[in-house]
Chains A and B, each alone.
Chain A
Amino acid sequence: MQLTVLLIILALLTVIGYQMGRSRAVASVGGRIVELHSVPSYHGFYVALWAGLPALLLFAFWGASEGWLVMQMVLSGLPDRLVNGDAQSLGLLRADILNLAHGVTTGREPDPEVVAAAERYVRLHALGDWSLLVIGCCVAIGGLLYARRRIDPDLRARNRVERTVNIALVICSLVAILTTIGIVLSLLFEAIRFFAVVNPLDFLFGTHWSPQMAMRADQVGSSGSFGAIPLFAGTLLITGIAMAVAVPVGLMAAIFMSEYASPGLRTWLKPILEVLAGIPTVVYGFFAALTMAPFVRDVGNSLGLSVSSESALAAGFVMGVMIIPFVSSLSDDVINAVPQSLRDGSYGLGATKSETIRLVVLPAALPGIVAAIMLAVSRAIGETMIVTMAAGLTANLTANPLDAVTTVTTQIATLLVGDQEFDSPKTLSAFGLGLVLFVVTLTLNMVALRVVQKYREKYD
């Protein structure tokens, strides 16, 4: 509540600051704008930045640290018997306080000390919000008055505003780098915690996957085993089926559209492929699970084959359909990039159209097509929803497309959906799988880019 008020006040103050700076700049030279170093609007922006930016930074910093700070203060006020525990019980205590503070009732009767702590938490939180409101307003008004006093015909307002904007632009472009760093670090940290429990070699080369961990030490089948080979094999099987569908169909569709189809036909065909590309993956997953899988099973049964109702074939086929437009649009681009003179030369030698395409155009476009296929493979490996909905959960090590297999992404999704404790090997194994997935897809993308750069024929 206070935070919203603060944001509204800040927005108002920046607008007022802009007007103030502008009019003061104009007034300072008696209306002869030529005498100003920067145009009046830059003076306005200058004051507005001073009014808004420091307070906003304070606000962001506060928002990021308030919860932690308040919690530390609350915990320091608790008796030792509650606080002095291992990390796990401390985490539990934190969660209890937060739940009580937010009015969530847990099943068990809370400790009166914890109730008091929760009340303290709420009180401190409210106090923090109010003080932020007051301090934020003070900072904003202070900045506004300071900047307003500095308005002067010689003030280099433009340079200062532009430098600030430039810094902001650089920070924005760094977000992409930060995201990558965040991905790598978060995957690495959790994966390292996982590999502290499970030997990485057992993980990468083990052939038995059953991540159920026992609650008690003496439970039957207690030790979960984390051999990821069945998952890798399943992923490869489904990806292979998907590629067997997507590459021929996508490539031939691209060739047909760019070489054979008349412009009129192309304006019809292109949107069809674009629609296919725009359908959300969850829809493909639903289609695979409820239409394709029963269909495949019925066809298989009528042929006397035993087909699992979560067969890799159904999931792989639908995934292939999903990737068709991806392959075709990328190959379309590279085929169109082959210069017409090559085709004309081939026709001039008496080659038919298909001979020209097979012997001239495709070899010339090959690096691009290879890169497109690699990107498609990386897409297929990382695709989650289709396999989560249509492929099974049983980790079979099989090459039979009629069996149920499971994939890396399916396991990540199922391991992390629901409420598990965050530090069991079962949950952490998802991050190990995520790390493998990230490394593999990243490598594929990098190699694809490198292939394009290195083997691109230079015409012209």
Chain B
Amino acid sequence: MSVAVTKSRYQSEEFSARLRRRYAAERRFRIAGMVAVGIASLMLVVLLGSIVSKGYTAFWQAQIRLEVTLDKQHVEERNYTAIVRQALYAQVPAATDRATRRSLNDLLSSGAPYELEAMVNANPSLVGTTQTVWVRADDEIDQFMKGFIRRDVPESERRLNDVKIAAIDALVANGSIRSTFNTTLFTAGDSREPEQAGILGAVVGSALTLVVTMLLSVPIGIAAAVYLEEFAPKNRWTDLIEVNINNLAAVPSIIFGLLGLAVFLGFFGLPRSAPLVGGLVMALMTLPVIIIASRVALKAVPPSIREAALGVGASPLQTVTHHVLPLALPGILTGTIIGMARALGETAPLLMIGMVAFIVDIPGGLTDSATAIPVQIYMWADSPERAFTERTSAAIMILLAFLILMNGLAVFLRKKFERRW
């Protein structure tokens, strides 16, 4: 934007200087706006970038090949640890003294004997044979293979001593270490050992919680919205309800957690850590969101539809159920899905009602102890192991994938069914 050079008779020296200043201010203002948008976008990129770059490695897991001899005696004694160790010593023939062998034991995941046991239990005919199996490596070996534990650091500051690194080198040399897709992450519950920890328990817990939330908040929310929008008389009472709903929508989520703790756990004596209670709390929390979204959708239905229905003799309820609700349904659905997505990402209320617990088993019912994906993220983020940091990032990616899926569905529904009158 250059200063216009015209033959205006106002074009004095001061005038053009003033104009230049004003245009410069204009440019500065515009740039400030761009910078603001730029900062927001940059933060999004940095945020997602740091999570993906920290977490993508968690989808791979190092495994060690073992030639296990399932001799009868050990199997009968259920001494699978011995079987696994013998196979490991055979892989690293250089290790002969006890100290070296002891540090070799740490190469394998502590879950390896159980894996083997499960394999034998599933197929008893394996007893007495020699099998080639790939078992999970310990998380530190995994981190070393991924390059997060540096070889050039002095031994005293390294999490792996030289003996172990030499053993790993030997294993790498004969092709006994491989990196595979980390299925454990998707099929296991929580664990203290990173290489055995998975997100499935949390996913199931979240799903159970969301089911309770949905079953409660959607019908109640839609019914409340229908009442307030279509039937309620305009008086102080309904005004109070309206103000109330708007305020509830802005109450911090942790307050709902306190409510759940005092009322559902303290007063009704429902079990701690249960998806049932989590769902109840989440339902109360998402209720205002759903009511507000549903009211907007109902408001968007033109009055002519109602008048036409009433005109041909439909009762008010028939008008709503046969005509207004079906037309408002896409909007209501969109609002509901967005509310559910918010409930899925919510953590603080669940901390209050004890869903922040170390739970290995996959929950099987509404009153089982369970945790949820965001809470799992919170707990893993607190764990000191490097392997848990990468699993936390992976869990975040899984959570974000669910959220993108839900929001994408909402956008799709809005695009497909949106009607303008």
Contact = CB atoms under 8 A, between A and B. Distances in A.
A183 B251 contact: yes
Nearest to B221: A172
B104 interface: no
B109 interface: no
A291 interface: yes
Contacts of B162: none
A442 B261 contact: no
B39 interface: yes
A445 B231 contact: no
A249 interface: yes
Interface stretch (B44-52, B136-144, B152-160, B163-171): B44-52
A187 B351 contact: no
B33 A173 contact: no
B248 A179 contact: yes
B100 interface: no
Contact of A189 (B25, B41, B262, B341): B262
B231 A276 contact: no
Given A179-B248, A381-B252, A173 B227 contact: yes
B133 interface: no
B364 to A, nearest CB: 14
B381 A256 contact: no
Interface of A is mostly: helix
B400 interface: yes
Contacts of A170: 227
A208 B264 CA distance: 33
Interface stretch (B80-88, B110-118, B174-182, B239-247): B239-247
A378 B254 CA distance: 13
A169 interface: yes
A442 B374 contact: no
Contacts of B232: 173
B334 interface: no
B381 A285 contact: yes
Contact of B392 (A182, A255, A286, A354): A286
Interface in B247-273: 247-248, 250-259, 261-263, 266-269
A28 B291 CA distance: 42
A168 B258 contact: no
A250 B33 CA distance: 9
B377 A283 contact: yes
Contacts of B317: 162, 165-166
A349 interface: no
Contacts of B194: none
Contacts of B226: 169
Given A172-B227, A291-B50, A422 B266 contact: yes
A417 interface: yes
B37 A257 contact: yes
Interface string A99-124: 00000000000000000000000000
B250 A177 contact: no
A385 B250 contact: no
A158 interface: yes
Nearest to B219: A172
A252 B33 contact: yes
Nearest to B254: A384
A273 B40 contact: yes
A324 interface: yes
Contact of A283 (B36, B315, B400): B400
B26 A175 contact: no
Contacts of B35: 252
A281 interface: yes
Nearest to A325: B40
Contacts of B37: 252-253, 256-257, 261, 269
Interface of B is mostly: helix
Given A287-B47, A289-B381, A352-B22, A182 B341 contact: no
B120 interface: no
A278 B407 contact: yes
Contacts of A252: 32-33, 35-37
A132 B123 CA distance: 46
A406 interface: no
Interface stretch (B64-72, B185-193, B323-331, B342-350): B342-350
Contacts of A260: 30, 33
B213 to A, nearest CB: 14
B274 interface: no
A172 B252 contact: no
A449 B378 CA distance: 34
Interface in B299-329: 315-317
A280 interface: yes
A160 to B, nearest CB: 12
B227 A179 contact: no
Nearest to B288: A176
A457 interface: no
A441 B46 CA distance: 31
B40 A383 contact: no
Interface in A145-197: 158, 162, 165-166, 168-170, 172-177, 179-180, 182-183, 186-187, 189-190
Contacts of B346: 280-281
Interface string A264-281: 000001001101101111
Nearest to A272: B41
Nearest to A381: B252
A3 to B, nearest CB: 11
A299 interface: no
B332 interface: no
A456 interface: no
30 contacts: A64-B268, A169-B227, A173-B227, A173-B228, A173-B232, A176-B224, A176-B287, A176-B288, A177-B240, A180-B244, A183-B258, A190-B262, A249-B39, A250-B36, A251-B36, A252-B35, A253-B36, A272-B40, A276-B44, A283-B51, A285-B381, A286-B392, A289-B381, A354-B28, A354-B30, A355-B26, A388-B348, A388-B351, A389-B381, A416-B352
8 cross-chain pairs, A with B, having the tightest CB-CB distances, nearest first: A382-B252, A280-B345, A256-B33, A252-B36, A186-B262, A354-B29, A172-B223, A169-B227
Given A175-B287, A176-B248, A416-B258, 14 more contacts: A67-B269, A169-B224, A169-B227, A172-B221, A173-B227, A183-B259, A189-B262, A252-B35, A256-B33, A280-B399, A290-B381, A324-B40, A382-B254, A388-B378
